[in-house]
Each structure stands twice: as C-alpha cells, then as structure tokens.
A = this chain, B = another copy of it.
C-alpha cells in the first residue's frame, strides 16, 4: 500500500557513507589523514596496514568523497576532503562512548573515560609545570618535535614508547600530548603508561592549543609552520 521512502536515494547515499566509515582500518586512515596530507606509504607505516590493503581502503574513501588526492613526484598524497567529515566522526565516537559508558558502568576503563581523570586542562598544566610536578611527554615523530614543542618536553614517539619507558621518571606525573584533539597518539601513549602503572595524564589540546594560547614553544621554526 504505502510504498514509502525506502526508495528515496538519500537513504542509499547516507548508507553508503556510513558503510565507508564501517571499517576500523578506514577510520584509522582517516584519522591520520586528518592530521595532514600523507602519502600512501607513510600511512601504511602509521597504521600498520599492508600496502595494497591501505591503497584499497584509501580508494574506497576517495570514491566516497571523504578524501582527495594529488600527485607529488612518484608519491600520491591523500588529504581530507571538504565538508563536515569531522562532525560525523565526532558524532559516531560520542555515540560509541555513550553506549560504552552505559555498558561498563562498573568497570573503570581508563581509555574510555575521557574525563577529569584522564585529561588535564591547559590551566592545570601550566600551574603544575610551574611547581615542577609534571614531565611533558611529546609522542609525535622526531621531525615534528624538532620543529616545535612544549618547553622542556621529552620526545618519545608513540610507537617507541613501550621500549623507552625507562627514560621517564616515576616520581612525577607524565603528561602526554601530540598534535591536538583529533590526534590519538597521546591517547595511545596514555594507555601504555597507565598499563605500566605510571601516573599520567593527557593534554588533549596538544601543541596547537598551547601555541594558540600564546605560550612559549621551543624548536627550530615553529612560527613558519
């Protein structure tokens, strides 16, 4: 009788879009791409996904209009397309968190609680830095660290952290940071640190928030970036 909106194309379009986001690998890739233009091989390194597989997922993302490409010499650089992509991701993540909180009301999962126990505000960070209560841990790659970092920060890229934990003092609170809210490196670092029993927090805003607040940055040429 009532042949309704099943046939309306918007549902198919939205579904396609959702399906494109429906694979962890593609989400991981998108996340990295959101941090800036990256070549395919860099993405394989960052994500640990096999080369051809990475390429396929990237093309899936491209077909869906979520990323765009340009060629630079022999490399193909992927960047985020225009449009409210981050909103979708944020909404999905927030919904996932909401569900997770409901399910795990009892369990104290340090990763899933993006709250006061995990994050440290810029204000609190500045105060505790003055009191020398914290150690800053920059978990970005070396080159990014060299360009600019928070004063006094130690640089241990996230993927080396597990091996180099010994370099971190036990007697202070470790505050990890990376490229900013959309970057998960510091969250990963926190998971590792907490698993190993370090007192640790995450400065979610990362370098961008710090610099935007007009606080000093150490490094070669952060201004030019």
Contact = CB atoms under 8 A, between A and B. Distances in A.
A170 interface: yes
B95 A4 contact: no
A72 interface: no
Interface in A184-200: 184-185, 187-188, 191-192, 196-197, 199
A123 interface: no
Contacts of A197: 5, 8-11
Interface in A102-154: 102, 111-112
B48 A2 contact: yes
A159 interface: yes
A39 interface: no
Given A5-B31, A8-B191, A88-B91, 17 more contacts: A2-B46, A2-B48, A3-B48, A3-B158, A4-B158, A5-B185, A8-B187, A11-B27, A11-B28, A14-B24, A14-B96, A18-B21, A83-B95, A83-B98, A83-B102, A84-B98, A87-B94
Interface of A: 1-6, 8-28, 31, 45-49, 65, 82-85, 87-100, 102, 111-112, 158-159, 161-162, 170-171, 184-185, 187-188, 191-192, 196-197, 199
